[in-house]
Structure 1
Amino acid sequence: MKRIIVILAILSSLLLADSVNGWQPLHESVYKSDFELMKKIVEKGDCDIDLQSKAGISPLHIAVKTRNLLMVNYLLDHGADVDIQDNNGYTPLHYAISARRLKIVRSLVMHDADVNLANNAGITPLQQAAYTNDFAIVDYLLDNGADPDILNANGINACELAYAKGNFSMAHHLKPYTHGECGKYVNELKTTKRGK
């Protein structure tokens, strides 16, 4: 009976998902946080664990977005590409940073995520963390090789991005690590504050 239910769930997911957004049963099982179904699909072995939807979303992206560390680790332990990018170039690490999930960030980095891999706009994980003003993630990324001097498509680094966003404490925090232009912005901030 269980086998019939699993088969029906897979067929139902296929009919629904494939026509709408290109999701397959593995995508659906991860999205629904159905660990047992996901595990059965992966162990069956006839699906691509990195299969991407029409938007380039992989099951790992979904596991990160739904903040499911158990599924993230399972997919990574079964060969999911830790640096897979969606159609906008976002990696699972970018997703974890946007969700402000340090435990998932740690797991991805421990599975060799590239801490300097930029999206299509040139935004690195460190820039994403600076933008979201997450000090714990910024420090973790810096401790694991993130380069604070990489410039995005607009020609600015993580410190400048934090400053432009109004995250002045973050800009001050990143300044000692930065060899680029951030210093002038942080100095302007100090001058402006003194003048008030």
Structure 2
Amino acid sequence: MDRLVKPDVKELELIFHTGQNCTVPFKLINLLHTMSVAVSLTTTNPALFSVDRILSIIPPLSSASYTLILSQPSDEPPFSATPDVITVRAAMLPTGKANRDDLRRLFARPGPHVFRDAVIPVSLVGPHVAEFLILRHTQIAQSCSLFKKSLFGCSATQLTMLLRSACESGNADFVIALIDAGGDVNFKDSNGQSLMPLAIRTGNIDIVKILVVSGCRINNSVDRVLHEAAAMNRVDFMEILVKFLGNIDVNSVDSDGRTPIHVGALYGHVKVIEFCLSVGGNPDVVDFNGWTPFHCAASEGHLKAVECLTECSNVKYAVNKDGKTAFSLAVDNGHSHLLDLLQWGDVLLRAARTDDVHGMKCSLAEGALVNRRDQNGWTPLHWAAFKDRIKSVKLLLEHEAEVDTVDDAGYTPLHCAVEAGHLQVALLLIAHGSKVNTKS
């Protein structure tokens, strides 16, 4: 025989409650048919854990009940560097009787008469332990395995509340464990918001994927998931959301009436704008204050975003409720580097087409770029050459316009002048170095 008694559990799971005395019962069973057994119980950390009966006698084929007690109530679960255990030692007691001193002496003498029958591991479990691990997991060794154990004793409601906390913490392993344990992936808070915005704010794409795969559903009227991702410049999030959430609307608006494109423009996130456009986003939506994405980008001075929107939007000169264009907002906020793109470049192109030399001088003085291209790649010099505006050509050349700039079709200003039959303009361009052998 290698042991005399057997515990009724392989592991003791003690449900921890903050600031309370915590206990868990267990039993030991005497395996002998005809003889009583003396039992001694010791804990790894007696200052922390104690057993209500350290020494006891169990009659033949009987069992005895014990209680493990967490002796020191605390606000945090007292994790130890090494796992806490109860060591069970037993010895045969032929007489079936012994006082406490006799039992103490019996176990004080080492020898073959004392059996080391069991080692019972002790685990702290329950929602208070799980919440603590969510908040402090980076400081606790083996926190993932401890967390999975801690979910014992948690109700379905508690698991769901813990799932919300895990999503906020950014720990994907905890999120998986809670969903597997029964946490509701479609939980909605008092505002009707799902778990998805919480996951996005952590920046952990694995949690977003886990929620999507687990069937998390969103409500476009509450969950501004694309807006959240746009503000963070996380196109990878947006790709997953659009691909796998069938009910998502890329043109949904937030409480200010702004779409994800507005958000991308406001922060200067060009890739966000480009992605939204690629999946049907409307760059001309007006928010509740009359602002288009163009207004947002211009007001913050985001050149690349303004350039991107220039190529796809038709509202460069739209006014908001205050009567402001994007150009006006850029001027008000001192974004002089945008003025050519927002207005003076257009003025210069228009003046070159109409031979408005005065208008050209004013726009150039205000900062218009002499080589600004239009949607076809034409510069002011292309237009002036094509329209036979020789005064405009001369002014542009005086301001160092590039004579051999190629448009989207491969045409130089010289090509334009020759094709339109304007000999004097062609000769003037050649005199300023235009290459006559350049092929379109």
- Indicate the structure with greater helix content: 1
Aligned equivalent of 2:279, options 111, 114, 119: 111
Please name the residue that 2:61 is paired with.
none
Quote the sequence identity (%).
20
CA shift, 1:10, in A, is 5.5
Length, aligned pairs only: 177
Unaligned runs of 5+ residues in structure 2 are: 1-147, 149-172, 351-358, 367-440
**Does residue 31 of the first structure (1) align with residue 197 of the second (2)?**
no
CA shift, 1:162, in A, is 1.2
Unaligned runs of 5+ residues in structure 1 are: 191-196
**Alpha-carbon contact 2:231-2:267 (below 8 Å) kept:** yes
Please name the residue that 1:137 is paired with.
305
* 1:60-118 deviation per Cα after TM superposition (whole angstroms, max 9, x unaligned): 11111222221011112234211111111121111112222111111111112111111
Range 123-132 or range 68-77, more displaced: 68-77
Q: Write the distance in 2 (CA, Å) between the matches of 1:38 and 1:8.
A: 19
Q: Which runs of 4+ in 1 moved over 6 A?
A: none
Q: Write the distance in 2 (CA, Å) between the matches of 1:11 and 1:140.
A: 41
Please name the residue that 1:60 is paired with.
226
SS at match of 1:18: coil
Aligned equivalent of 2:288, options 112, 117, 120: 120
**Alpha-carbon contact 1:83-1:114 (below 8 Å) kept:** yes
**Does residue 4 of the first structure (1) align with residue 177 of the second (2)?**
yes
TM-score (normalised: structure 2): 0.36
Please name the residue that 2:393 is paired with.
none
Please name the residue that 1:18 is paired with.
189
Query: Taking CA–CA contacts closer than 8 Å with sequence separation of 6 or more, which of the two structures ends up with the larger relative contact order?
Result: 1
Report the CA distance shift for 1:40/1:172 in structure 2 as closer, same or farther (over 3 A).
same
CA shift, 1:177, in A, is 4.1
Report the CA distance shift for 1:144/1:10 in structure 2 as closer, same or farther (over 3 A).
farther
**Alpha-carbon contact 1:151-1:157 (below 8 Å) kept:** yes
Q: Write the distance in 2 (CA, Å) between the matches of 1:18 and 1:162.
A: 40
What is the letter of the counterpart of residue 238 of structure 2? V
* 1:136-169 deviation per Cα after TM superposition (whole angstroms, max 9, x unaligned): 1111111113421211111121112211222233
TM-score (normalised: structure 1): 0.75
